[in-house]
Amino acid sequence: AMGTSAVSVLINHDENIPSNSSQFVYPVLLFGGGLLTFLDTYRSKPIGTYSKLPGLDDGPVEQTAFDRKLGYKIGMEIHHGIFMFLFWLVLLVGSITLIGRGYDNKYLEIFEIFYRTGSLVFGGGVVIVPMLQNEVVPKWMTDDQFFQGLGLAQSMPGPFFNFASFLGGTYAGLPGAIVANLGLMGPGFILIFAMLPFWSKARHYAWFQAIIKGLNASAIGLIGGGCVFLYAKSVRDAADAIVFVLCGGLASFYKFGAPQTIAMGALIGAGFAAFNLGHLPY
């Protein structure tokens, strides 16, 4: 987690590293995290703590009643999962290829950006912020507009990915908002169905549980790096910093919910703006 967090901060804050490198580096970091925990399970004294489950050499695992019930509810076999994975891959490669060959259509452009981002993002919504900023600023909007939209999306109910609707709508109206949301949500929707037929079998093996543990740790690191990125981009003067500290305290220590915390932040920020306080660079 610490390693992935440090790398994610570095690649988004170094002028010598291409701004779009995160879309390639993030999957490598996650793969590395899963590989490290997988290898750690074979050490005589593992660093981590892992479940005592069957290993690679223990042969096939008999399905439990829960596995059979889950498989019945899903209604998907292994070949269905393979088809869903190929469907995801065709959409990804096809959209990238069309854009790369100069096919000029703004809705395809929107879909390609958000589908590619949605296919490569792991760890939650915060992780996608620097990736999307690199794609849409300054072509579609300014930095200020980007973060104003982020604040607006965060103040609304629903998933973080609603931010995609704002970005797509700013560029191409309501159709653009719909295409952006479908593009960003689509990969996760398709891949979860691609994975489900394999899940009931793989979850019983220690190697698979170890890989999941490494992926989770790496994803947490990416979320931490995303928070650093948001702070550096959003907190520009003393007033911003004070709002951050007060709202962080309300959420962390007084257990304010997200809507109440956002409302309090808006009120405090409005007070600073009304009296022109705290606007020296922080």
Is the pLDDT at 13 greater than 80, yes or no?
A: no
Among 107-116, 127-136, 272-281, top mean pLDDT goes to 107-116
Q: Evaluate whether 20 touches 234 at the Cβ level (below 8 Å).
A: no
Find tokens 């490290």 and name the residue.
36
Section 185-208 average pLDDT: 82
Q: Evaluate whether 199 touches 20 at the Cβ level (below 8 Å).
A: no
Q: What is the pLDDT of residue 277?
A: 86
Is the pLDDT at 23 greater than 70, yes or no?
A: yes
Q: What is the pLDDT of residue 97?
A: 93
Question: In what helix (H) or strand (E) does residue 105 lie, and over which residues does it extend?
Answer: none
Say how far apart CA 90 and CA 95 lie, in whole Å: 8
R_g of the chain, CA atoms, integer Å? 22
Q: Evaluate whether 46 touches 210 at the Cβ level (below 8 Å).
A: no
Section 27-31 average pLDDT: 83
Is the pLDDT at 61 greater than 60, yes or no?
A: no
Section 164-172 average pLDDT: 91
Measure the CA angle with vertex 25, ends 97 and 45; round to 5°.
135
Sign of CA dihedral 48, 54, 58, 61: negative
Q: What is the pLDDT of residue 70?
A: 62
281 three-state secondary structure: strand
Say how far apart CA 279 and CA 282 lie, in whole Å: 8
| pTM of the full structure | 0.78
Q: What is the pLDDT of residue 123?
A: 59
Q: Which two tokens stand for residue 270?
A: 């409005």
Q: What is the DSSP string of 208-243?
A: HHHHHHHHHHHHHHHHHHHHHHHHHHH--BHHHHHH
What's the DSSP call for residue 106? H
What's the DSSP call for residue 62? P
50: pLDDT confidence band, cut at 50, 70 and 90? low
Share of the chain above pLDDT 90, in %: 22
Q: What is the pLDDT of residue 263?
A: 87
Residue with the bigger pLDDT between 11 and 39: it is 39
Section 77-103 average pLDDT: 90
Q: What is the pLDDT of residues 201-237, one digit of tens each?
A: 777 777 788 888 888 888 888 888 878 878 887 888 8
Find tokens 């295409």 and name the residue.
179
Work out the mean pLDDT of the chain and round it to a whole number. 82
